Amino acid sequence: MLTLTRCSRRTRRCSVTSPTVLHHGIVFVVGPDAPRLGSMTTVVGRVRRECRRLERRYRRSRSADDRRRWIDAVRKRFRLYRSTKDAYWIKRLSQEGHCQPLLCRSLSSMLGRDRDTTSDGHHTADGFAAFFARKIEDVRASTAGHPTPVGHVLGCTCRMSSFRPCSQAEVRRTIMKSPVKSCSLDPVPTFLLREFVNLLLPFVTCMVNASLRQGRLLKSQRHAIVVPVLKKPGLNTVDMANFRPVSNITFMSKIVERVVAQQLHEYLAINDLLPRNQSAYRSHHSTETAMLRVISDAVMHCQKPMNRESRYWLHLT
């Protein structure tokens, strides 16, 4: 997250921790990059102090030469700001190029797409609750008269009747791999649980195994805070249809959810029940692998004899 900080004009030194500086004393503060950018911060501060010194000299003398030196220093300062900002974004995009979500988030922040330019809708919690309840009732009413869809059952001899209990090592690994996010319903913050995980691990493991054995969460974990969030930045906030409900659950519920998902995925992978062409929600699979499969199938089909029409169509595309 980028934070704006304003530097005082009365002070001789400015505590800047990022190289990306804007004019009028506004700078971008980026914590993780601060220790590696001290030299650039020093250069920016020296150029700004030199520019202020030349400005004061021109205010006193009103000389044409002093005015020209001051203007040249200002232009140099703005060129430095622009080059520093470009270097920062190029470095950030190159570092996040391997991760598509981080790259899209950085591009949205750079292009200003994540800014909310709409007006406040002044909605209430009761209004959102009535709207989402009415939406669910409309969906149920529209599908009430339709017959139950018949699913295609695959011939499978294996069966998963229950979840297996987890060891303390598995629960500890799941806790340490989870993001450090907390909910107001949590009895203790997540960072505190991770810090004393060795002490609390037997109790957490007992809670997780109790949920797996009973097939449902504990009563203390069956609560959530529902927050309406815009489906896309920039949508009109007056219309409730542009919001979607997001449930903020406890950290223990997330741990149980991750354990259940891991055991289900292991069962499906061992018994070869996952679709071969499924690319979504699977590790080592993405839209890139799906596109490679499509292109590979098209090329292999065109290499067969008597497929000149397909080869010509592939050449045109």
pLDDT, average across residues 29-55: 66
How far is residue 142's CA from residue 235's CA, in Å, rounded to a whole number? 27
How far is residue 96's CA from residue 225's CA, in Å, rounded to a whole number? 32
pLDDT band at 5 (very low <50, low <70, confident <90, very high): very low
pLDDT band at 212 (very low <50, low <70, confident <90, very high): very high
Q: Which amino acid is at 258?
A: R
Select the more confidently predicted residue: 295 or 153: 295
Q: What is the pLDDT of residues 49-91, one digit of tens each?
A: 888 899 889 989 988 898 899 989 889 888 888 888 888 888 8
Q: The tokens of 312 are what?
A: 């010509």
pLDDT band at 15 (very low <50, low <70, confident <90, very high): very low
pLDDT, average across residues 270-275: 83
CB 66 within 8 A of CB 57: yes
Q: The tokens of 291 are what?
A: 């596109």
Q: What is the pLDDT of residue 26?
A: 33
Q: What is the pLDDT of residue 317?
A: 52
How far is residue 170's CA from residue 193's CA, in Å, rounded to a whole number? 16
Q: What is the pLDDT of residue 167?
A: 94
Count of H-run helices and E-run strands, the chain = 10, 4
pLDDT band at 206 (very low <50, low <70, confident <90, very high): very high
Please, which residues bridge with residue 248 across strands?
Answer: 225
Q: What is the pLDDT of residue 306?
A: 55
Select the more confidently predicted residue: 165 or 292: 165
Q: What is the pLDDT of residue 205?
A: 95
Q: What is the pLDDT of residues 218-247, one digit of tens each?
A: 888 888 998 888 888 778 888 888 899 988
Q: Residue for token digits 């090592």?
A: 169
Q: What is the pLDDT of residue 252?
A: 93
pLDDT band at 165 (very low <50, low <70, confident <90, very high): very high
> Which range has the top average pLDDT, 108-112, 157-161, 198-202?
198-202
How far is residue 108's CA from residue 78's CA, in Å, rounded to a whole number? 24
Does the reported pTM lie above 0.75? no
pLDDT, average across residues 257-282: 86
Percent of the chain whose pLDDT exceeds 70? 78
